[in-house]
Structure 1
Amino acid sequence: MQANNFILGDYLQRIGFSRDPTSDAEGVRQLMRAQLLSVPFENLDVQAGKIVSLAPEDIVEKIIYRRRGGYCYEVNGLFAMALTALGINYDIIGARPMFYPQRRPKSHMVLLVKIGAERWLCDTGFGSFGLRAPIGLHQRGEIIAQDDESFLLEHNEHGEYVVKARVKGKWLNQFCFDIHPMEWIDFSLPNYYNSTHPDAVFVKQYLVMQQHPNGRTLLSGNLLKKMMGDQEVISEVSPAELNDVLQREFALKL
């Protein structure tokens, strides 16, 4: 994935990455982590009644130069541009969110990065208990510790990979996927649904999240949740406080 206005140096500056990036597995891990800790997951445009643009140049302008965040297509799309600039091969994959009561379509987007003979799942844009570093498909069945959190990659009865997160002592399904590549244009309809449909969670309420080394800060509707290790502090946010909260907690402005 490429954009005419993508400049690798500007991207690295945006995510606070001061080293020379490398194209091995450790380099991809460092890059993904730097983006996760600096670019928030957010749906402010959807809440403003806008349809999110998937034009690569618009994503670059929004996240790098306007210092915004985005949801999965935008932030993972930006990460894909960085991988392309570094000559790293990857596939774009559709994933099915699994934390809803009803079965949902494959509306989430992730990346499968190819490093030698190994493939690594990368995701910088999952608004729930998302990965904090890549997971190798060869790590299936292993409990993988990332900071204070644990993840598990398993197969289900359909032969799909399932990502699970350990939340309050229980393994909860996050999303599932197969390894069949998709094209960028394939996400235009899921993006339209997530930007406009009244049943889409992004249309219903604010969802803004910033990952931290030891937890995450989440704005869900009018509730601000600060989750650090096993501790969770919840406070209400009034409409009058929203701008201040967005700027203070997420470095964002309406």
Structure 2
Amino acid sequence: MTAENFNLTDYLSRIGFDGEVHPDVATLTQLVQKQLRSIPFENTEVQAGRIPSMVPEEIVDKVLVHQRGGYCYEINGVFAMALTAIGFEWYFAGARPMFYPMRRPKTHMVVIVRVEGRDYLCDTGFGGYALRAPMMIEEGEAVQDGDRFRMELIDGEYVVSSLVQDEWQRQYGFALQPQEWIEFSLANYFNATHPDTIFTQKKLAIMQTPNGRKILVDNELKLIEEGKLEKLEVEYTSALKEYFGLDLFKTT
């Protein structure tokens, strides 16, 4: 995944990464964590009635130049550009969201990274109660910044679950099958236009913090820190700017 206007230095500055980068687990972990804490998961393009661009250069312009966020294809796309620039071995895979009441197609996109002889699931673009760091692809549980996650192999797919308020909630399932970037263009159109997707139904913005996460859904803001939940009624546009650094009225 590349773009003519992608610059690794600009990306590292955007996510607040200082120091040297190497194609190793330590760098991979820092990249995931820092991006999750600096580039918000958001669907303002969809809510404005537009289909997010899948042109790599336009994604770079949106996320790095104009300091916006996006959903999985955009922010995992930028993440993949950084992986390429650093020299990681990786590929895209399709994932099936499992938080809907009915079975869904594989409209989510994740990144599988092969590093130091092991495969890791990396995902900077899921939102909600998503992973907080790379997760080794094998059955078992992992604790990341105090949050618990579980990976199970079910019917040929790895299923990722999060422990939310003492209950395991399935997030999505994926298989170790590489997919090309172009394969996600239909999923992007589906997510941006179908009336049953959460992206067309709700205004969303989600970003992690070192000890929790911020979740904005329409006019409700959830601030979760060290397991404590605070709910606030807010004005969506103002909250976007105050809590996520997104100014919908900024044109440059």
Q: Alignment partner of 2:238: what SS?
A: helix
Aligned to 1:37: 37
Task: Give the equivalent residue in structure 2 for 1:249.
Answer: 243
Q: Which residue does 1:101 correspond to in 2?
A: 101
- What CA distance in whole angstroms lies between the structure 1 residues aligned with 2:228 and 2:37? 19
Alignment equivalent of 1:236, drawn from 233, 236, 250? 233
Query: What stretches of structure 2 of length at least 5 have no aligned partner?
Result: none
Q: Which residue of 2 aligns with 1:164?
A: 161
| Deviation at residue 205 of structure 1 after TM alignment | 1.4
TM-score using structure 1 length: 0.95
Cα RMSD of the aligned pairs, angstroms, is 1.0
1:144 aligned partner: 142
C-alpha separation in 1, matches of 2:145 and 2:25: 18
Alpha-carbon displacement from aligned partner over 1:98-140 (angstroms, at most 9, x marks no partner): 11111111000000001132111000011221000000114x2
Alignment partners' CA distance in 2, 1:164 and 1:242: 29
- Name the aligned partner's letter for residue 216 of structure 2: L
Any conservation in 2 of the 1:165–1:171 contact (CA below 8 Å)?
yes
Give 4+ residue runs of structure 1 displaced > 6 Å after superposition: none
What amino acid maps onto 1:174 in structure 2?
A: Q
Residue 193 of structure 2 is matched in structure 1 by 196
Which AA in structure 2 matches 1:65? Answer: V
Matched-pair contact (CA < 8 Å) for 1:110–1:122 = yes
Displacement, 1:228? Answer: 1.6
1:165-195: CA deviation from partner (whole Å, max 9, x where unpaired): 1111111111100001111011001100111
Q: Contact between 2:218 and 2:236, CA under 8 Å: does it hold in 1? A: no
Structure 1 segment 123-138 matched on structure 2, within 5 A: 123-138=123-138
- The TM-score normalised by the length of structure 2 is 0.96
Whether 1:72 aligns to 2:72 is yes
- 8 Å CA contact 2:3–2:81 kept in 1: the answer is yes
1:185 and 2:182 correspond: yes
Structure 1's unaligned 5+ residue stretches are none
The question of whether the paired residues in 2 share the 8 Å contact of 1:21 and 1:31 is answered with no
Q: How far off is 1:249 after superposition? A: 0.3
Cα-to-partner distance string for 1:70-120 (whole Å, 9 max, x where unaligned): 101101000000000011110100000111111111000000001132111
Distance 2:49 2:66 in 1: 19
Question: Structure 2: how far apart are the matches of 1:230 and 1:86?
Answer: 35
CA distance in 1, matches of 2:103, 2:128: 17
Q: Which amino acid aligns with 2:116?
A: G
The alignment covers a number of residue pairs equal to 248
Q: Which residue of 2 aligns with 1:205?
A: 202
